[in-house]
Amino acid sequence: MNICLKGKIAVVTGATGELGRVMSRTLASCGADVAINYLQNETRAAELVKEIEDKGVRAISVQADITDEASVNLMQAKIKSELGDPDIVVNNAVIQYKWTSILEQDLSDFKSQFDSCVMHNVLMAKAFIPAMINKGGGRFIGVNTEYWHLCGANTGAYSSAKRGMDGIYRTLAKEVGKYNINVNQVAPGWTISEKDRENKTEIAPEYSKNVPLNRRGTDQEIANVVLFLASELSSYVSGVCIPVCGGTVMV
């Protein structure tokens, strides 16, 4: 069985990041045209566009701050003008920050995580779901984290924001399901990326000993689940958060 996304248009936020690049390539490999969202790395975005175009599909890069309403709306207009209205939205971008205890964490970090995990998804829904309704369906996919469930020490800002994101997705799934729009999340564990392969840091015994499958997952394994949710194979799946973390989280 082959997954075919030919004729579909996807937008991936944070697409120049470690996981975003693999998800973008994977969607394109199955025939989807892809809009590459980036915040700062214009060079990497251009390289990724070229790589995707070499697969025989269309691609564009779009600079946007996913925490800013005006910026997201400009991105939506550019994608609509140059590719068309997306059938698939993958919300992957998140603001990075230094983790510490709740008592020591700067208040600005709680706000930044709320903006990039909750408001990011609200703004993308408002910008892109109306067109999905008009088209008669679509896929709205968010990248959450195993910490949405684990809530580990020193992850307060991140875990609380990702839990807020989960609430948005479960509510949205109930609100737009009648329009044939599937709303789902993927929750990765600590994932092996291209940077790990370059730096030879794939092996992490202290982390892996707590994973039932006894290893870290790979970026491609995460992208494969995103691809499943973007495809017709998931046509009757909505409102779920799928842990892709080797069994560390079981729901």
User: Facing residues of 88 across strands?
Assistant: 10, 139
Residue 4 lies in a domain: no
Give me the pLDDT at residue 200, please: 92
**In this predicted model, what pLDDT tens digit does every residue of 108-135 receive, in sequence order?**
999 999 999 999 999 999 999 999 999 9
- CATH (domain of 136): 3.40.50.720
Residue 119 lies in a domain: yes
For residue 38, indicate whether it is catalytic.
Answer: no
**Domain that includes residue 117, residue range:** 9-244
Residue of 147, 158, 179, 207 marked catalytic: 158
Alpha carbon distances (Å) from 95 to 109, 165, 248? 9, 14, 24
174-212 exposure pattern, b = at least 16 Cβ within 10 A, e = fewer: eebeeeebbbbbbbbbbbbbeebeeeeeeeeeeebeebe
Residue 175 lies in a domain: yes
Residue 47 lies in a domain: yes
**In this predicted model, what pLDDT tens digit does every residue of 212-224 receive, in sequence order?**
999 999 999 999 9
Give me the pLDDT at residue 2, please: 86
Residue 181 lies in a domain: yes
Residue 27 lies in a domain: yes
Low-confidence ranges of the chain (pLDDT < 70): none
Domain count, the chain: 1
Residue 251 lies in a domain: no
Cα gap 244→250, rounded to integer Å? 10
C-beta separation of 117 from 164 below 8 A? yes
Give me the pLDDT at residue 80, please: 98
The single-letter DSSP state of residue 37 is E
Residue 214 CA to chain centroid, in angstroms? 25
Give the predicted TM-score (pTM) of the model.
0.96
Residue 131 lies in a domain: yes
